[in-house]
Amino acid sequence: MMAKHKIVLLFPAAVVEQPFLYHLVKDYNLFVNIIRANINPRKEGRLVMELAGEQEDYDAGINFLESRGVTVMPFEQQVKWNEDRCTQCGACTVICPTDALKMIRPEMIVEFDESKCIVCEHCFKACPARAIVAHY
Ligand code: SF4
Ligand code: SF4
């Protein structure tokens, strides 16, 4: 059985230089598709990616990452749009690079499509109502 998931990896500063992706591909036969990678000022790494392979290999690969101090989180929990707080101002839809946040016309209501989000974080700062929050 195949497994394919969008996940987010958090690397503590101490392990950020290690060749994890190489091991996932080479030792666990997994396919890696990097969506976004960045390193914060504290030198912690964050990688948004798609990981795919046989279920057994997938589970073993995740165990390998966790055993090396990498935190693995489901992508879905990363960015939350709080519809109740949203004032439909549209500011986020202008800067969202993937149309994950989109203004639906002519109704002029905002919609969030989580599957398109690449966690670029632009909308966090743009939203005056703080309706979009990060979960990490
Ligand atoms: S984090 Fe980036 S891609 Fe995701 S909704 Fe916000 S602006 Fe769009
Ligand atoms: S910027 Fe915030 S308040 Fe404005 S449309 Fe986007 S989520 Fe809603």
State how far the Cα of 4 lies from the Cα of 69, in Å rounded to an integer: 22
Distance 42 CA to ligand 2 centre (A): 29
Q: Does the CA dihedral 52-117-7-56 come out positive or negative?
A: negative
- pLDDT for the residue numbered 36: 86
Q: Tens digit of pLDDT for each residue in 29-48? A: 999 999 888 887 778 888 88
Looking at the domain 2-76, which fold is it?
Alpha-Beta Plaits (3.30.70)
The domain 79-134 having CATH identifier 3.30.70.20: the answer here is yes
All structural domains of the chain with their residue ranges: 2-76, 79-134
Nearest alpha carbon, ligand 1 atom 4: 117
Closest to 131 measured CA to CA, from 91, 93, 81 = 81
pLDDT digits (tens, 9 = 90+) for 49-72: 999 999 999 999 999 999 999 999
Q: What is the pLDDT of residues 79-105, one digit of tens each?
A: 889 999 999 999 999 999 999 999 999
* Ligand that comes closest to the CA of residue 97: 1
Closest ligand to residue 123's CA: 1
CB of 114 closer than 6 angstroms to any ligand 1 atom: no
Return d(Cα 131, Cα 80) in angstroms, integer: 8
Q: What span, in angstroms and rounded, lies between the C-alpha atoms of 4 and 62?
A: 12
Which structure tokens are listed for 3?
Answer: 């497994």
